[in-house]
Protein backbone atom coordinates (compact mmCIF):
# COMPACT_ATOMS: atom_id res chain seq x y z
CA UNK A 1 0.00 0.00 0.00
CA UNK A 2 1.13 3.56 -0.49
CA UNK A 3 0.18 6.98 0.79
CA UNK A 4 1.29 10.57 0.54
CA UNK A 5 4.84 11.79 1.10
CA UNK A 6 6.42 8.55 -0.13
CA UNK A 7 4.89 6.35 2.55
CA UNK A 8 4.58 2.71 1.54
CA UNK A 9 4.45 -0.72 3.08
CA UNK A 10 4.65 -4.26 1.74
CA UNK A 11 3.35 -7.19 3.77
CA UNK A 12 3.37 -10.93 3.22
CA UNK A 13 0.36 -12.60 4.81
CA UNK A 14 -0.15 -16.25 5.71
CA UNK A 15 -3.20 -18.39 6.48
CA UNK A 16 -5.19 -16.84 9.31
CA UNK A 17 -3.50 -13.42 9.13
CA UNK A 18 -5.49 -10.19 9.20
CA UNK A 19 -4.46 -6.97 7.43
CA UNK A 20 -5.84 -3.44 7.53
CA UNK A 21 -5.55 -0.84 4.77
CA UNK A 22 -6.49 2.69 5.88
CA UNK A 23 -9.08 4.48 3.77
CA UNK A 24 -7.50 6.55 1.02
CA UNK A 25 -4.34 4.49 0.62
CA UNK A 26 -3.50 3.03 -2.78
CA UNK A 27 -3.00 -0.71 -2.63
CA UNK A 28 -2.82 -3.97 -4.53
CA UNK A 29 -2.99 -7.61 -3.51
CA UNK A 30 -0.98 -10.36 -5.18
CA UNK A 31 -0.84 -14.09 -4.46
CA UNK A 32 2.90 -14.84 -4.48
CA UNK A 33 2.47 -18.44 -3.35
CA UNK A 34 2.18 -21.58 -5.45
CA UNK A 35 -1.25 -22.58 -4.07
CA UNK A 36 -4.67 -21.01 -4.61
CA UNK A 37 -5.49 -18.29 -2.11
CA UNK A 38 -8.79 -17.20 -0.59
CA UNK A 39 -9.31 -13.71 0.70
CA UNK A 40 -12.15 -12.18 2.69
CA UNK A 41 -12.43 -8.41 2.33
CA UNK A 42 -14.52 -6.25 4.66
CA UNK A 43 -15.39 -2.62 4.01
CA UNK A 44 -16.32 0.12 6.47
CA UNK A 45 -19.25 1.12 4.23
CA UNK A 46 -21.67 -0.84 2.07
CA UNK A 47 -20.26 0.71 -1.10
CA UNK A 48 -17.29 -0.65 -3.05
CA UNK A 49 -15.44 1.64 -5.43
CA UNK A 50 -12.43 0.61 -7.49
CA UNK A 51 -10.13 3.30 -8.82
CA UNK A 52 -7.38 1.92 -11.02
CA UNK A 53 -3.92 3.45 -11.01
CA UNK A 54 -4.25 5.27 -14.34
CA UNK A 55 -7.50 6.91 -13.18
CA UNK A 56 -5.91 7.89 -9.87
CA UNK A 57 -2.87 9.43 -11.57
CA UNK A 58 -5.04 11.24 -14.14
CA UNK A 59 -7.22 12.65 -11.36
CA UNK A 60 -4.38 14.24 -9.41
CA UNK A 61 -2.52 17.47 -10.18
CA UNK A 62 1.12 16.97 -11.20
CA UNK A 63 2.40 18.69 -8.03
CA UNK A 64 0.52 16.17 -5.87
CA UNK A 65 2.10 13.27 -7.80
CA UNK A 66 5.56 14.84 -7.47
CA UNK A 67 5.08 15.22 -3.70
CA UNK A 68 3.69 11.70 -3.20
CA UNK A 69 6.21 9.81 -5.33
CA UNK A 70 9.28 12.05 -5.00
CA UNK A 71 9.92 12.00 -8.75
CA UNK A 72 10.55 14.93 -11.14
CA UNK A 73 7.73 16.90 -12.76
CA UNK A 74 9.01 15.85 -16.20
CA UNK A 75 8.08 12.21 -15.47
CA UNK A 76 4.45 12.97 -14.62
CA UNK A 77 4.02 15.38 -17.52
CA UNK A 78 4.37 12.31 -19.79
CA UNK A 79 1.46 10.47 -18.14
CA UNK A 80 -1.99 10.54 -19.81
CA UNK A 81 -4.41 12.99 -18.22
CA UNK A 82 -7.36 10.61 -18.59
CA UNK A 83 -8.12 7.08 -17.49
CA UNK A 84 -6.83 4.53 -20.01
CA UNK A 85 -7.39 0.79 -20.11
CA UNK A 86 -4.78 -0.28 -22.65
CA UNK A 87 -1.89 1.96 -23.62
CA UNK A 88 0.05 1.63 -26.86
CA UNK A 89 3.77 0.94 -26.48
CA UNK A 90 5.50 4.28 -27.03
The 10s digit of each residue's pLDDT in 54-82 is 777 888 888 888 887 888 999 988 887 77
What tens digit of pLDDT does each residue of 11-33 get?
Answer: 999 889 999 888 778 888 888 88
* d(C-alpha 6, C-alpha 53), whole Å: 16
Q: Which H or E run includes 62?
A: helix 62-69
CA distance 72 to 76: 7
Q: Give me the phi and psi of 26, to 5 degrees please.
A: -75, 145
* pTM, 2 dp: 0.51
Amino acid sequence: MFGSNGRFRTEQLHAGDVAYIPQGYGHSIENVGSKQSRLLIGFNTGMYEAIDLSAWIAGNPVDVLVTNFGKPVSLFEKFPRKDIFISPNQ
